[in-house]
Amino acid sequence: MSADSYVVLVEDEPGALERLSEQVGRRLAGAGWRKVVARPYLEVFAPATSRLEITEGLDGHGVVLGQIFDNEGRALSKDDRGAVACRPLDPTRAERIVRSHWGRYVLVRRVSGEAAVLRDPSGALEAVAWGKAGVTVIAPSAPSALDALLPDELAVNWDSLGQLLHRGGSFRHELALTGLFPIAAGALACVRGPAGRSSQVWAPGEIYRAARHGARPDIRAVVDRTVCAFAGGGRWLMEVSGGLDSAIVAGALGDRARSQVSVWLNHYVDDPEGDERVFARPIVERHGHVLTEVGRRGVTLSKARLDRSAHGFRPAINDLDTDYNDDVAARVEASGACGSMTGQGGDAVFFQMPSYLVALDEVFERRLM
């Protein structure tokens, strides 16, 4: 079960929410879930152990899930979060929220018999919608506890699956499943069951165009502000791989956040390309801490372990190294940490991947196509 698990139920037809909630509520409770929002037209369930922040709108018709900050990196108060979830959610309002706030959040609001869903531009928190018995369901994944909520028409979309196999390693918005409506990062979708319409209120090209016509942001200040905001006042496990990105994230932690790190962790293998401890140690030791070094001997695969990561709507690319994830999860739990902070492997935090989509922004901007 993911730490970001949630399910939002929005009523489409009179009485449908009460009937569906009664039908699935006991099953969810038996699987360790609890109802965190209960309103006549909107309900939200989450695992009892979830650390996902969930705040209902002041009028009971909306909810914001996840972390949301203002542009100075300050986390919104409960009242401010409630106000964000209370106001009308249309394209104009969505654009204003995206300009003045950031984080890893999903905002849901019932609007004229539909569910308006805004997913923040980072896409860190998944959101997929579908219909079930007169109710619109929004969730990031489908663990077994949600089986009774899945759409009746759920099936493999073989054309989409073929495209994924043809372009291995590609990231596509479209799902390889029918009966589902995925909400893109930076998009506002108005959905009713599996049908809906979506408008992109933010796209990566906006950063590029804004930089051409205004003062460029201080990248160092942005990174420092972002890392410190996400670190908050909690305890974290900090992975220091020896690569660039994890070193930057570790260095961006302020003194207070650094003192709250529960474990400084490095995984290595007995190979020159997989052992970067010589680079990782100075990052930790310069502040008087000790690096916990974990030697690896291959990867263990099993059906039972893979089944645990098979409930997502997309390929579980973040769970390819199951031994690493299990070790980190165990250390997070044992040390009482909120989670782990990392460079995400292969310098992924700062987008060190080849993609023609980045080049296309420049091509279109110069009107070469």
Cα angle, residue 188 at apex, residues 127 and 37 outer, rounded to 5°: 55
Taking 50 as the pLDDT cut, the residues of the chain under it are none
Architecture label for domain 7-200 = 4-Layer Sandwich (3.60)
Q: What is the reported pLDDT for 227?
A: 92
Whole-angstrom CA distances from 256 to 154, 228, 237 are 48, 9, 14
Q: For the chain, which residues make up each domain, given as ranges?
A: 7-200, 219-341
Residue 87 CB burial class (10 angstroms; 0-12, 13-18, ≥19): middle
Looking at residue 70, its pLDDT comes to: 95
Residue whose entry in the numeric block shows the structure tokens 């695969």: 301
pLDDT, position 201: 93
Stated as kind and residue range, the H or E segment containing 277 is helix 277-285
Tokens representing 308 are 């645990």
Q: Write down the architecture of domain 219-341 according to CATH.
A: 3-Layer(aba) Sandwich (3.40)
Question: Alpha-carbon distance 344 to 340, whole Å?
Answer: 10
Would the pTM of this model clear 0.85, i.e. be above it?
A: yes
- Contact between 107 and 76 under an 8 Å Cβ cutoff? The reply is no
